[in-house]
Every structure is written in structure tokens, then in C-alpha cells.
Amino acid sequence: MLDNILPVSLRAAGLRSDSAVGKQLVSSPLESIRLPALVISARDDRYGTYASAQYTAGRITGARFIGFDEGGHTWVGHDDEVLAAIVGLLLPAARP
């Protein structure tokens, strides 16, 4: 994983952009989304995404929420479950 995110200096401009956009977010009409949706988060994500992920999944009709107690921002230790959920979203015939 570190090979894919380091050095962070190469991603500095993108991180600054994400931060600027995040400070100006407004409510979105999530109820108008009419596509399959998958929302995944972990409680111990230090970016604090869990409550927002639950909220988002709850506002999108038919969305699937997957929450982990541990795994951080990249869901460490949950690769198989996350990948299976993504495949299930993209290939409905593969859903369990």
C-alpha cells in the first residue's frame, strides 16, 4: 500500500484541492440518485467518514452500506469483502 501512496509530495496539489473543495461542500439531493450505490467506511477512519457514509447510504434509495469497526481509511484487512461488494455492484449476476 505504501508503494501506491508514497511519496505524498507527488500528490500535494491534489490533496490541497481535495481540502479546498471539502471546505465548501453543500448538501446534495442524494434522494435523486437512482443508480446502484455502495458506500463503505470504517469507524476508525481518522478522517471521520463513518457517520457521513451511513448518512449518505441512508439517503440513496437501495444503497448498500458496509461498515467495519476497524480497517482505517483503506479498510485494511477487508480486501476480500470490499472487492466482492464492488464486483457485486458492477456485475449483478455475481451478487451473493
Digit-by-digit pLDDT tens for the chain (96 residues) are 556 666 778 878 888 888 887 777 788 899 999 999 999 999 999 888 899 999 999 999 999 999 999 999 889 999 999 999 999 999 976 655
pLDDT confidence of residue 20:
82
Number of domains in the chain: 1
Pair 88, 96: CB distance under 8 Å: yes
Residue 6 lies in domain: 2-94
**Assigned C-alpha cell, 96:** 451473493
Pair 94, 88: CB distance under 8 Å: yes
**Encoded amino acid at 91, one letter:** L
pTM (whole model) above 0.85: no
